[in-house]
Structure 1
Amino acid sequence: MIKEIKKNPMYGYLFYLVVAAAISNQAWNTLFNNYAVDIVGINGFQMGIIQSVREIPGFLTFLVVYILIVIKEHRLSALSTVLMGIGVAITGLFPSFKGLLFTTFLMSLGFHYFETTNKSLTLQHFGKKEAPLVLGRFGSYSAIVSIFFGLMLLISVKFFPIWLNYLVYGIIISTIGLYFLFKNPIFLEVPKQKKGMVLKKKYWLYYALNFLAGARRQIFIAFAVFLLVKHYNFTVLEVAILFVLNNIFVFLTAPKIAEGINRFGERKVLTFEYLALIFIFLGYAFIESRNVALILYIIDHVIFGFAIGINTYFQKTADSEDIAPSMGVGFAINHISAVIVPIIGGILWMTNWKTPFIMGAIFSAISLFFVKYIPKDIKIIQN
């Protein structure tokens, strides 16, 4: 099946843009916490605000459906990559709290619009058995790229200042996006997508799981690495090594997760994810050990790969013409909670750093409750 999938030009097109997004994530995330703490000097509350601002573009992804009226979806995906690169490139040039708010918003705008269009194009151009494999392989490729650039960062941060690292990697990302902005990967006719926002009662479970995933994921993004840097004094070198280890495990597990979705179904895969996350978040809060926190972070990072089951569940149950507009709506719903949770978590962190992670465990438990509404045999409602 993989050989047939690779014959689709959309596969190659999205592959290179996924590579660019992986470079962006690796560079920005590896450097950000140490840059923010050691150079800018932000506190936990300010970190919560920055992470909330980072998620505002995610909430605005519902506007994708209106942008697609004037620009083709694959071109918007490439253009979003260009914007993502610009945001990364200038991050180190504004070493202040306000500067971080601005560059974070710019980078995030490109990233979230790329993620929305990337998943939408994947679900439209690949079949119900193919899509999990494509998403899984893209996750694996992202890990390989992240490992390579993580190793590059281990070297470059020793010889060059953080602002220059941001600038160079940002230019690489934007260049990839510019190149593919003028390419056309469309060769298969796919169902014409609806123009305008789509909200349907029958998609309620997809909306609910997205909302909870946004809250849960944001606690991980905003406070897990911050915990390692602030509470356990991880250096930028140690954070870079951690990301390399993370991506080695993601590279090994991402294709297996995709195969697991095809074999066991979304219900079982997501049940496993939510059960594991309950224990991981409680581990962050109550096991005060530098090494345990490190191990939990790696497992946490790998576990998020299971979340593709939310999108493949939607693909199997949705009307084919609803995919593109619903991806934007799903991302927006995901980020309603993601905008609010970091600020609340930041306030709670200032009182007791354990509280945000207890919140994460609660959100995971609620997700576990909702996943029981996914049919055991999802084939009975496929289009």
Structure 2
Amino acid sequence: MIRIGRHEIPKDLFLFLIISALLGVVMAVESTSLANRLYEDLNFTVMQRSFLETPRELPGLLTVLFIGMMNGLGDMRIAAVANILGGVGLLFFGLSPNVYSMVLISIVIYSTGQHLYIPFASSIAMSFAKGEQYGRRIGEVQSVGNFAIIAASGLLFLIYHFFEVSYQAVFVIAAICMVMAGILFLFLEARTVKIVGDKRFVFRKEYKTYYILSIINGARKQITLTFVPWLIIDIFQQPVTTITGLFLATCLINVPFRPWFGGMIDRRGERFALRLEAVVLFVACIGFVYAKHLFPFSVALWIVGGCYIIDKLMESASMARATYVRRIAKDAGEVSKTLSMGLSMDHVISMFIPLLAGFAWYAGGAEGYRYVFFGGMLISVANFFVASRLIDAKLPKK
């Protein structure tokens, strides 16, 4: 046990919280600086940015295969390998010159490590939960990472605003943090709840709603991750400090919001949370499409910034998909395998959406970006109706 003030927490949980903080730094750097480095340092166009996403998302499609191959290592060691690999890729990205092939290779290496770890982040956090409070525990762990993101993004904002600092230096620091997180996983003991299980792959008809939601999420996330930042950088011609400031504001709100959202999932169920996500995305896309046409530039920028924030907040809905699987799983050992299967399905569509959306943006000329967010509205409608069919696992099935 580790004593912090009057409180004692298990050593493994303490180490996992440190890991979450280190990965929070990585997330801050990626979210605030990756798109700007591609646009400012490497002079990427929207089509080049879009083409980069297909190979970048390929590791996500192959996640279930990679995890199955490493099944014997156990969750903690797989998480260690994933983060060390991701850190190496991030280091290469930070040091890559303006050569498309080198940027592509480094991004794919980073993405492989990142996607390998994604299904384990929630399952490991849930292994520390007491009783059935899975959503609350995920929210608490993510809040620690969020504090680190706030500190890192706040520091980045000050550095970018007042000093001359290269993107290369920023990404090298992030790479070191990710490698350190991977090393710390080697010191975590196996949990009493077996997460890895004996099966390499899990595909059951009982999880079909989760699989469909994962596929829809693959399309939905590209709006937030790829095209919203590009809208702000390219169409509104904003510097890195704008993206950093918006991301910092999102993280500050997330401090109370994530635990509240996790608790709401426990109270109201996953269906309510995922329908809320769909409604918020629809509203945000309306802002992205019409703000520049209906309002003066400065007002439109504030509206788009607000839509960016509420859209980013809904990334918390990933907790609802994870807790849904955990609640209906007959065997705790199936959780991370099912989440990784869903992640692979997610990436089937997320590999192609950027190509279609990027072409629509490019072919549409100055107004092409609007077609991307019209598509986002359709995605949100599909998400709403599929989530409406979901039966909350906490409730008795009729």
TM-score range, shorter chain: over 0.9
Which of the residues 291, 302, 319 maps onto 2:330? 319
2:273 counterpart residue number: 269
1:348 aligns with 2:353: no
The answer to whether the aligner puts 1:176 opposite 2:160 as a matched pair is: no
2:368 matched to 1:363?
Answer: no
| More moved, 358-367 vs 134-143 | 134-143
Q: CA deviation at 1:206?
A: 0.5
Alignment of 1:151-300 (within 5 A): 151-157=154-160, 158-178=163-183, 180-190=184-194, 193-288=197-292, 289-300=300-311
Match of 2:20 in 1: 18
Larger mean Cα displacement after TM superposition, 13-22 or 68-77: 13-22
List per-residue Cα deviations over 1:280-321 (Å, max 9, x = no partner): 112211221211111100111112212311111111112213
Structure 2 counterpart of 1:380:
396
Shift of 1:73: 1.0
Q: Is the 8 A contact 1:147 1:248 kept in 2?
A: yes
Same amino acid, percent of matched pairs: 19
Matched-pair contact (CA < 8 Å) for 2:57–2:350: yes
Q: Deviation string for 1:18-52 (max 9, x for gaps)?
A: 22222112112211122111121111111111122
Write the deviation string for residues 347-369 of structure 1: whole angstroms up to 9, x where unpaired: 11102111111111111101111
Whether the 8 Å CA contact 2:21–2:147 is kept in 1: the answer is: no
Moved more, 65-74 or 236-245: 65-74
1:58-73 correspondence runs (5 A)? 58-73=60-75
Check if 1:40 corresponds to 2:42: yes
- The answer to which of 222-231 and 34-43 deviates more is 34-43
TM-fit CA distance, 1:192 = 6.6
**2:297 counterpart residue number:** none
> Using the alignment, how far apart are the partners of 2:125 and 2:55 within structure 1?
27
Superposition deviation, residue 226 in structure 1:
0.6
Q: Does 1:97 align with 2:87?
A: no
Alpha-carbon separation, structure 1, partners of 2:185 and 2:334: 25
SS at match of 1:196: coil
- The CA distance in 2 between the partners of 1:260 and 1:229, in whole Å, is 34
Residues 262-271 or 116-125, more deviating:
116-125
* Rounded Cα–Cα distance in structure 2 between residues aligned with 1:377 and 1:84: 34
Q: 1:219 to 1:189 in 2, by over 3 A?
A: closer
Q: 1:189 to 1:163 in 2, by over 3 A?
A: closer
Amino acid at match of 1:373: R
- TM-score, length-scaled by structure 1: 0.92
CA distance in 2, matches of 1:61, 1:125: 24
Mapped partners of 2:329, 2:66: distance in 1:
19
TM-score, normalising length from structure 2?
0.89
Aligned to 1:106: 109
Q: CA RMSD in A?
A: 2.2
Q: Which residue of structure 2 lines up, in the alignment, with residue 79 of structure 1?
A: 81
Q: 1:143 aligns with which of 146, 153, 167?
A: 146
Counterpart Cα distance in 2 of 1:211 and 1:191: 23
**CA displacement at 1:194 relative to structure 2:** 3.1
1:176 shift after superposition? 3.1
Work out the CA distance in 2 between the residues paired with 1:324 and 1:67: 14
Distance 1:356 1:230, change over 3 A: same
Displacement after TM superposition at 1:125 (Å): 5.0
Q: Which moved more, 1:70-79 or 1:191-200?
A: 191-200
Rate the CA distance shift 1:128–1:346 in 2: closer, same or farther, 3 A.
farther
Q: Unpaired runs of 5+ in structure 2?
A: 293-299
CA gap of 1:187–1:210, structure 2 versus 1, over 3 A, is closer
Conserved in 1, the CA contact under 8 Å of 2:125 and 2:141? no
Q: Which amino acid aligns with 2:170?
A: N
- Measure, in 2, the Cα distance between the counterparts of 1:340 and 1:60: 15
User: Closer, same or farther in 2 for the Cα pair 1:12/1:295, shift >3 Å?
Assistant: same
**Cα deviation code 1:68-105 (max 9, x no counterpart):** 33312111112211122222222121133222211211
The whole-number CA distance in structure 2 between the counterparts of 1:226 and 1:96 is 20
Measure, in 2, the Cα distance between the counterparts of 1:142 and 1:49: 30
Rounded to whole Å, the distance in 1 between the matches of 2:19 and 2:348 is 26
Query: Once the two structures are superposed, what CA deviation does each residue of 1:198-255 show, in whole Å capped at 9, x if it has no partner?
Result: 1111211010001101110112111000100000011012222221111101112001
